[in-house]
Amino acid sequence: MDIVANAAQKYSHNPALINEKKTLSFRDLEAVTGRIATVLQRQGIRKGDIVTLCMPNSATMVLLLLALLKTGSVAAPLNYRFPASRLQTLFPLLKSTALIGPQSLTNKLAHPVKLIPEEIMAESSAWKQLFTEKKPVQTKSAEHDSANRQLDSPPAQQLRKPVTVIHTSSSSGLPKAALHSFANHYYSALGSNENLPFGPGDIWLLSLPLFHIGGYAMLFRSLLGGGALVVPEPGTLIQDALCRFHLSHLSLVPTQLYRLINDEKTLKKLQDFKVILLGGSTVEPALLEEASKAELPVYLTYGSTEMSSQITTTSGPVSTIGAGKVLPYRELLIDKESEILVKGPCLFQGYLSERGPMLKTDASGWFHTGDTGEMSPDGELLVTGRTDNMFISGGENIHPEEIERALCSFEGVRRAIVVPVDDPEYGFRPSAFIEVTGKALTDDEIKATLSRKTGKLKTPETITRVEQWRLLTGTEKIDRGYYKRLVNE
């Protein structure tokens, strides 16, 4: 099954891809990506080849990714903000046949790989036809008759076919290259759309990078559900996109929501949305309370690269920090050590290695996520932390996330990170970094209160106030590894 052609048959003239210059219908999308696939094949791209893309979100990148689906190639979108040195370390493992990106990459990469300059696409007739003339952005009404028809089920052979390599965004250590099959993305989108429908008439801002699983997953959700994606020009701020386009759905990480909710103009825009999907990192209760008071339709989600995006998602707007129930086509188990285990058709094919994809599961086929959590009696997941963040202090297991939640319960503390610092007596002691807004208690007052509530071992030895966080390149995630190194220097 050609998923783009199938969507064109089902949703036809409904809008599929919107930017400042053009609105493409699903039929347009099929025609254009077919021509682009031909251009790529003329450049030597063949079925099964791994093709790396290094560029920011754009209509160009969306069309290239869909064209690669048509060629049967494996798309490997990389974080374009990575320095050349990081890219050099990733290429040998990827074994890319070609790299699509700006011509300027030629001088930065010594690795022998065929460079297909991004600029060459602008010379194709498809690009000239699409983006040389401006056309007002508009949407067409939903075609309800087509929306009720089912997409053809893909054949088993296609389901097993690898289609992407997407790197994890670990808050510590190097990113891992995760290989996904067509089935992984297909069933991920099916389950997500069953919980939060995304169909004709809906418009979702592509606010997450396409080199992250949350961004790429939107392509399949659109093709299966019939909703349109808005992809602004590179460098467009979310605030500007909210004002420029008529949107119904939005994906955010907590830092982004915090910024938008504290801007009166964008707050009013957010109140008109159908869905604001929030995930990617820990969500502080104070932020959810603020969103609830503003009557924002916030849905919490927990997911991972390894499970092809969402694993659990709430079924309605929330004011609590639970991450919802397990979505269709996923299985989840909490083991006796409180680790979250997952399996099902969304589970990736493995991490790339010199010996091929490596997928480590236990004897029952469960993948150990490294996340910890607990399940409520009604099946709602609460994510509590990471097993690899835990450290031992004075013989007791210390989970930094527990201390971070306690710190964020203080008035004025917006965000906190706790890392271990070497200690000759205890082995390790917790050290905290906090971001404060407005009036906040002194460090000594915070320590005294924590000592009474959580005990001495869970009271930070030091508290450092941060004005601007060090983030992982190209993400809104705090670089936990950086702060761990900082306190131990």
Do 280 and 194 lie in one domain? The reply is yes
Return all residues near 373 (Cβ < 8 A) that are at least 6 apart. 334, 338, 340, 381, 382, 383, 384
Q: Tell me: do 20 and 51 sit in the same domain.
A: yes
pLDDT of residue 86: 80
Where does the pLDDT of residue 489 fall: very low under 50, low under 70, confident under 90, or very high at 90 and above? confident
* For residue 321, pLDDT beyond 80: no
| 298 lies in the same domain as 412 | no
Q: Is the domain of 334 the same as that of 400? A: no
- The number of folded domains in the chain is 2
Last residue of a domain, one of 329, 347, 375: 375
Q: Does residue 411 fall inside a structural domain?
A: yes
Question: Are residues 282 and 410 both part of a single domain?
Answer: no
For residue 143, tell me if it sits in a domain: no
Q: Is the confidence at residue 146, as pLDDT, over 50? A: no
In a domain, 384, yes or no: no
Are 394 and 349 in the same domain? no
Predicted TM-score of the model (pTM): 0.88
- Which residues 6+ apart lie within 8 Å of 370 measured at CB? 339, 386, 387, 388
Distance, in Å, from the CA atom of 110 to the CA atom of 90, rounded to the nearest integer, reads 12
CA distance 403 to 397: 12
Average pLDDT, the chain: 88
% of the chain exceeding 90 in pLDDT: 65
Can you name the residues that pair with 334 across neighbouring β-strands?
340
In a domain? residue 142: no
Do 334 and 404 lie in one domain? The reply is no
Q: How far apart are CA 477 and CA 350, in angstroms?
A: 24
Instruction: Answer yes or no: do 365 and 424 share one domain.
Output: no
Portion of the chain with pLDDT greater than 70, in percent: 90
The range of the structural domain enclosing residue 274 comes to 3-132+155-375
Same domain, 298 and 244: yes
> Within this chain, do residues 428 and 350 fall inside the same structural domain, yes or no?
no
Give yes or no: residues 478 and 332 share one domain.
Answer: no
What is the rounded distance in angstroms from the CA atom of residue 34 to the CA atom of residue 71?
A: 9
Is residue 139 included in any domain, yes or no?
no
Residues 276 and 173 in one domain: yes
